[in-house]
Structure 1
Amino acid sequence: MSIIKNKNTAKAIKTGILLIIASLLAAIFIVPMVYILTSSFKSVENIFTVPIKWLPEKLHLENFSEPFINKNFGRYFLNSTFIAGTVTGATLFFSSLAGYSLSKFDYKFRDSLFILILITMMVPIETTIVPLAIVIRKLGMMNNYWGLILPVILSPFAIFWMRQFMITLPDAYSEAGRIDGLGEFQIFWKLILPLCKPAIGALAIFTFMGNWNSLIWPMIVATSDSLRTLPVGLVAFEGEFFTPFNQLFAMSVLAILPTFILFMILRQKLITGMAMVGIKG
C-alpha cells in the first residue's frame, strides 16, 4: 500500500508542477492581451499610471471611432479583408489542384517536383523579398492590388498540406468517377475536394491569418495611403511627437477580431485537418 501511495503522491506532485508551469506560460501570453484590451477603453493618461490601473476609470468608446474619422482605418480594414480573402481563396484553389496532381497522378519527375517544393519551404522569406520586389517593379505592379496579391497566392506549404491530405484518400473515388465518365477536373471538383473540407478549413485559417497579419510585403508594395493594410496602418499610427496609445490599442483589438472569429468558426476543421494530415508518401 505504501508503494502505491508513494507513486500516487509523486504523480500528484508532478501534475501540480506541470500545472504551475503551464499556468505561468499561459499568463505570459494572456496578461499582455488583457492589458491591451482594458487600455483600449482608457485615456492616454491612465495607460501610463504607476502602479498600473487594470480597469479604466471611464470607458472612452471614442477610442474605437476616432481612428476611423481622423485616420483612414476604414480603408485599411477593407484593404486587409479584400487582400487576405482573395489570397486565401486563390491559395486554397491552386494548392488543392497542385496537391491533387502530386498525389493522384503518376508522371515523370513527380516526386522530384515535390522535393523541389519542399526545398523552397526551407528558404527564408527575407532572402526573396528584394528579388521579388524588383520583379514586381519591372512588371508595373508596385502600388496596386496586383502586387499585393499575385506574389503570395502560391504557397509551398499549402501545396504540401493539401498533397499530404489527398494522398490518404483512396484512389477508388477517382476510379469510380472515371468509370462514370467524369473528366479529371470534375473528379477533382465533385469527388475529391468535398472530402478535403477538414484540410481546407485548417489551411484557410493559416492562410488568412498569415495574410491578415502580413506587414513587410505590404509596406514595400503599398506606398500610397489608400492601399495600406491594417498592420501597415498600425505602424504608421505612431506620430513623430505623440502617439495616442489608447486608440492604437483599440485598433489592435479590432484587428484581432476577424481572425478570432474565423478560428471560432473553423476550429473543429482545424483540429480534424491537423489530425488527418500525416506524413505518408
Structure 2
Amino acid sequence: MTAAAQVVRDAAGDRPAPVLGLVLGSGLGGLADAVAGAVAIPFAELPGFPVGAVAGHAGRLVLGTLAGTPVVVLQGRAHLYEGIPVAELAVGVRTIRALGARGVVLTNAAGSLDPAVGPGRVMAITDHINLMGANPLLGPNDDALGPRFVGLGDAYDDALRARMLAAARAEGVAMTQGVYLAVAGPSFETPAEIRAFRILGADAVGMSTVPEVIAARHCGLRVTAVSVITNLAEGLGDEALTHEHTLANAQVAARDLQRVLLRFIPEAAAELA
C-alpha cells in the first residue's frame, strides 16, 4: 500500500491530497474522464495493485479534481472471480486512504431482486450480505491499518448517504435504497438462488464491492456506495443475462449517476471536513 501511494505522490507533484476516493465499476468509468488536471497511472504500474481484465474496467488510478474537489479515482477494479487473492482486493481502498482521503464512494453494476426497480435505476446501498465466501482481512492483521476485529454495523455511512440522496433529488434522479448481496461469480445466479436471496432480505446482487467496504472500514474510511441496476435478476425477467447486456445498461444509467456524483462530491467534502 505504501509503495503504491508513494508512486502516486511522486507523479502528483504538488497537487493537494485527495479528500475523497471513488471506485468506478462496470461501465461507469466515464466519470474519470471528467477529472481536471488529471494524473493517470495504470494499475499495472502501481506496486501491489491487482490488475483485472474484465471489459468495462479501464484499470487506471486518476488523481485530480472533480467539482472543484481533490479526488482519487480508481477507474475499474479487479474481482475475486478473476482468481485475484481476496487480500489484494483491499489494496485500492488502502491506497486511497494512504493518499489522505477520508471517505470513499464505491459504485457497481448489479441485478435487481425487486421487479419494481428495473434496468437504468440507481440504488444507494444501505447494508450488505457477504456470500462471496471470502474476506480481505483473513490472515495476519496489520495493526497499523486497523483493528483485528472491525465492526460493520456502520459500514455504510448514514450522513454521506443522506447527502447522496439529496443530490439525486436535486438532479431529478429517482434513487432507491436497499441491501446489496455479493457473490463470488463469475456465473450468474440461478432462479432458486435469487428466490433465496430475496428471502434473506437482499434488494440487489453483484460480484464486487463488499471486500472494498470491509477493507475501507478497517482502515478508517467512511463509505457510501451506489449500485447501477443493469438487469432484473434471473427468474424475474425475460432477457438472457450477459456481461455485454450489463455494460450496455450500465452506460445508460451512468449518465444519471454522473450528474448525481458531480453534485454530491463537494457536499461529501463538506461532510468529511
**TM-score band, normalised by shorter chain:** under 0.3
TM-score by length of 2: 0.24
Which gives a bigger RCO, structure 1 or 2 (Cα 8 Å, sep 6+)?
1
TM-score by length of 1: 0.24
Which of 1 and 2 has greater Rg? 1
**Structure with more of its chain in helix, by fraction:** 1
**Structure with more of its chain in strand, by fraction:** 2
